[in-house]
Amino acid sequence: MRLGYVLRRFIFLIFVMWTAATVLFTIPRLSRVNPIRERFAALARSTGYAPKDLENIIASYELKFGLDKPLPQQYADYMGSVLRGDLGVSLMSYPKPVAELIGEALPWTIGLLLVTISLTFLIGTAIGALAGWPRSPRWVKGTVTPLMVLAAIPAYTLGLLLVYLLGFRLKLLPMGGAYSPGMVKALTMPFALDVVKHAILPALSLILAYVGFYALGMRGMGVTVQGEDYVNFAEHKGLRQGRIFYWYYVRNAILPQVTSLALALGGIVSAGILVEGLYGFPGIGSTLSAAITANDYFVIYGVGFITIFAVGISMMAVDLLYPLLDPRIRYDRK
């Protein structure tokens, strides 16, 4: 039964990702904006200069990118090449391949988001668990309320305030970018420290904005778990408090946290886009915003597909965990 379900779920996932990809492919094409003309428009407003024979140049580029073909054909061509692992070339940064563009941005985002998400999760869960534990000191329980207020502020707004205070005013941390001018990009300690220093503010904006979310969730679950028979049983058995806290209370309450972690991925990725833009962080979010402004189809698709893939896989993982969490739910057919 299990294996059959996993297989069904996997096929479903592929189907879902394919639909999502199709939706993504179609939407930008509903716009009547011509990205190549926009490219020259951008050129014209940054340079004041507009080529005299613009329309000819546009036409020959459309031919080159296959944008003159009917849309279904373009769809088939493009999906085919994606399956072959070719994401095409960027229209704006022609002749740069999309895969290269993403390859340059992705490590930064993965680095930032992995650190952020894991720290948020660990800190939030720890605070939540302690806050929900009846024997915790009062001030520990009190931390939840300020965290809740923080959670009410969008990460972007937090970032705005943080960069102003710590960057502009106090000059404690860099205001943006990836590393200091003149730094040589290499696997050296000074470089690594410099990168970390530049990542603190963007990471902090996200962590502060989301930590309350996990703390609240964990506290809620923790309180629920306390009422469960096995915890009462453990208490009556006279087990040590620390042991109960960890083995019976945290271990049981943490599972739904994992679920909500995966479900929040999309949200954090979204917030990451805004925060990256705010700090000029060279990640995938900045790449996407720039691509959308420029209607750079193939970059939009490339970034979109990669996020869909990442989110889709994590969602499937969650879905497979779901029946384990609540045995009352059964997916198998009767």
Partner 1 sequence: MKGKLTRREMLRLSTVIGAGTLVTACAGAATPAPAPTTAPEPTKAPEATQAEATTAPEATTAPEATTAPEAATGAEVPRNRTLVLNHGGTGGKYTWVGQINPVGGMNHQEGGALLWDPLFYYSVFADKDIPWLAESGTYNDDYTELTIKLRAGAEWSDGVPFTSKDVVWTLEAYKANEKIDYHQQVLDFVDSVSAPDDQTVVIKFTGAQPRFKFEILSFKFDTGICPLPAHFFEDKKIEATKINEEPGGEDMPHTGMFNVKMTPEQLVYDLRPDWWGFKTGFQKEPDIKRVIFIPLSDMATAAQRVVNNEADACLDLRPTLIRTAVQQNPKITTHTGKDEPLGYIDWWPNSLWMNTASEPYSDKDVRWAINYTIDRDTIDKVVFLGAKITSVFPYPEYPALKKYLDQARPLADKLGVSKFSLEESAKLMEKAGFSKDGEGFWVKDGARVNATIDGFESIHADIVPVLVEMLRNGGFEAAINFGNDAYQNMADGKPGLYMFGHGASVIDPYATMELYHSRYSAPLGTTAGGNHFSRYKNPEFDQIVDDMRAVPPGDPKLNDLFMKAIEIYWTDMIDVPVIQWLHRIPYNQTYWTNWPTQDNPYLNGAYWHWTFPLLVMGLKAAQ
Partner 2 sequence: MELAIPTTAKGPSQRTLVLRYLRRNKSLVLGLALLAFLLIFSLGGSLVVDTAKLAYPLAAVPLQPPSAEYPLGTDKDGRDLLAVMIRGIQLTGAIGIIAGTLGIVIGIVLGLLSGYFGGVFDSVVRWMTEVLLTIPPLILLIIIAGTIVDKNKVTVLTMALVVSILSWVGPTRVVRAQVLTMKERTFVNVAKLSGMGNIEIIFKELMPNMLPFLVASFVGQVMGAIGASFGLEVLGLGAVREPTIGMTIRWAQFHSAMFNQWWWWILWPVLALIAIFASLSLINVGLDEIANPRVRRTE
Q: 69 or 141: whose CB is closer to partner 2? A: 141
Distance CA 8, CA 1 (A): 10
Distance CA 95, CA 107 (A): 22
Distance CA 219, CA 226 (A): 11
Mapping DSSP to helix (H, G, I), strand (E, B) and coil, where does residue 97 land?
A: strand
Residue 262 tokens, joined = 């995966």
Question: Per DSSP, what are the bridge partners of residue 97?
Answer: 89
Distances (CA, A) of 301 to 54, 91, 99, 223: 26, 12, 11, 44
Q: Give the residue, chosen from 4, 66, 80, 107, that forms a contact with partner 1 under the rule CB under 8 A.
A: 107
- Give the residue carrying structure tokens 């534990």: 133
Least CB distance from residue 192 to partner 2, whole Å? 29
Burial of 218 (0-12, 13-18, 19+ CB in 10 A): buried
- Near partner 2 in 139-178, by CB under 8 A: 141, 148-149, 151-154, 156-157, 160-161, 164, 168
| CB distance 65 to 266 below 8 Å | no
Which x/- pattern over 293-332 shows residues binding partner 1 (rule: CB under 8 A)?
xxx-------------------------x--x--------
Least CB distance from residue 142 to partner 1, whole Å? 27
Q: Give the residue, chosen from 19, 73, 180, 241, that forms a contact with partner 1 under the rule CB under 8 A.
A: 180
How many C-beta neighbours within 10 Å does residue 250 have?
22
With CB under 5 to 8 Å by kind, the binding choice for 66 among partner 1, partner 2, none is: none
How many C-beta neighbours within 10 Å does residue 34 have?
16
Distance CA 127, CA 114 (A): 20
CA-based end-to-end distance of the chain: 11
With CB under 5 to 8 Å by kind, the binding choice for 11 among partner 1, partner 2, none is: none
> Does the footprint of partner 2 cover residue 270 (CB under 8 A)?
yes
Q: Give the residue, chosen from 5, 17, 20, 38, that forms a contact with partner 1 under the rule CB under 8 A.
A: 38
> Does the footprint of partner 1 cover residue 291 (CB under 8 A)?
yes
Least CB distance from residue 39 to partner 1, whole Å? 10
Q: 152 or 196: whose CB is closer to partner 2? A: 152
Least CB distance from residue 45 to partner 1, whole Å? 5
306: Cβ contacts below 8 Å, ≥ 6 apart: 102, 106, 284
> Closest Cα partner for 6 from 225, 331, 334, 278?
331
63: Cβ contacts below 8 Å, ≥ 6 apart: none
Least CB distance from residue 311 to partner 2, whole Å? 5
With CB under 5 to 8 Å by kind, the binding choice for 108 among partner 2, partner 1, none is: partner 1
> Does the footprint of partner 2 cover residue 119 (CB under 8 A)?
no
Least CB distance from residue 216 to partner 2, whole Å? 7
- Near partner 1 in 114-143, by CB under 8 A: 114-115, 117-119, 121-122
Query: What's the gap between Cα 295 and its chain centre?
Result: 21
Options 64-72, 78-86, 243-251, 292-300: segment touching partner 2 (CB under 8 A): 292-300
Contacts to partner 2 by CB under 8 A: 12, 15-17, 19-20, 23-24, 27-28, 30-31, 33, 131-132, 134, 141, 148-149, 151-154, 156-157, 160-161, 164, 168, 216, 219-220, 223-224, 226-227, 263, 265-267, 269-271, 273-274, 277, 288-289, 292-293, 295, 300, 303-304, 307-308, 311-312, 315, 326, 328-330
